[in-house]
Amino acid sequence: MRVLAALSGGVDSSVAAALLHEDGHEVVAVTMKLWGGESDTGCCSVSEVEDARRAAAQLNLDHHVFNFGEEFEKHVVAPYVSDHAAGRTPNPCVECNRHLKFDVLLRRAELLGYEAVATGHHARIVTLLDGSRRIARGADTAKDQSYVLYTLTAKELDSVMFPIGEMTKEQVRSHAEALHLRTAAKPDSQDVCFITRASGRAAFLEQRIELHPGRIQDQDGATLGTVSAVEVVTLGQRRGLHLAGGAAARYVVDVDLPTATVTVGGPEGLLCDELELENLVWAADAVEGVMNLQCSAHGASLPATVTLESIGKGPAMVRVQWHEPHRRIATGQSVVMYADLETSTGLEEVVVGGGLVR
């Protein structure tokens, strides 16, 4: 099979490409050049592209760089900025997968005559008893990345491969060491790739939108301090508020952008019984009932009852009712729904859909 292997410069994608090559596939490596601005971390930095090139050379694979900077700006960076300006908390990694890796790159691969695109995600593709394909959790549950892949539908899964999905991270590194890959001991990157460590999120946003100082108050309305930019404060935040010490832990329980007011309170102020999801993506048909929901890339999944509703005459919405009080999730964040379904290899926890907190 002719496979285009996406090399980010990390150990996971390097080993994914190596496994495909070892299995006899015709593999060509490609690195996506997404960000032309300043970057010192993640898959957008110059060093990552160089690491990908070296890994491809060690594996004796042809290596190409595709410049998708315009698409990245349109589908990831610009929405990231506008979400912050509107008081939402975006997840750019989900949007990069949705629009770049598994849309733009897939279409380019098809044009070039490749049968599949492979990535180094820790996730698996399983087959249900009816023959349909779904995303299941990776073998290494601590590194599972199915959460950030929920936007993939059956159409994309027909042309996608996750070669390391059955491996643990330790096994991936061991395989890289056996191949003497330079990426073998490279640490994982979990930062937003176009936000530099040196400057940070506020400095990045300040170049693109006007930021506004805000007032911090307690739940009784008493002023406790100020923030330099209310647009970068998010629900549940504790650090960076610079409140006087000595008091019990205080978290952001509300951000009111029009009045530039941040309200803080104890952890109990973050609890809720339900939430609403919009911009839904379903693996197949929309479903209701009891399932497990995951609210962050590395968080635990918890049971909830999912009910389909509508937004007036508009698109469908999901109402989530937690079985126990749950910490509130910031508007704009992704929530992914999982269900235990019978597959060709047994019962598996698979992605059935996901959406954004309304």
DSSP for 287-329 reads --EEEEEE-STTPPEEEEEEEEEE-TTS-EEEEEEEEEEEE--
Q: Which of 43, 44, 93, 193 is catalytic?
A: 193
Measured N-to-C along each axis, helices 169-178 and 11-22 cross at an angle, to the nearest 10 degrees, of 70
Ramachandran class of 240: left when φ > 0, alpha when ψ lies in -120 to 50, beta otherwise: left
Cβ atoms 276, 357 nearer than 8 A: yes
Q: Which two tokens stand for residue 245?
A: 């010490």
Active site residue 193: yes
Out of 44, 96, 272, 295, the active site residue is 96
Query: Half-sphere exposure (CA, 13 Å, Cβ side) for 40?
Result: 5
96 labelled catalytic: yes
What's the CA gap between 250 and 265, in Å, rounded? 5
Here the tokens at position 114 are 């490749």
By the 8 A CB rule, do 329 and 235 touch? yes
Q: What is the DSSP string of 204-262?
A: HHHTTS----EEEE-TT--EEEEES-GGG--TT--TTS---TTSPP-EEEEEETTTTEE
Catalytic residue numbers read 96, 193
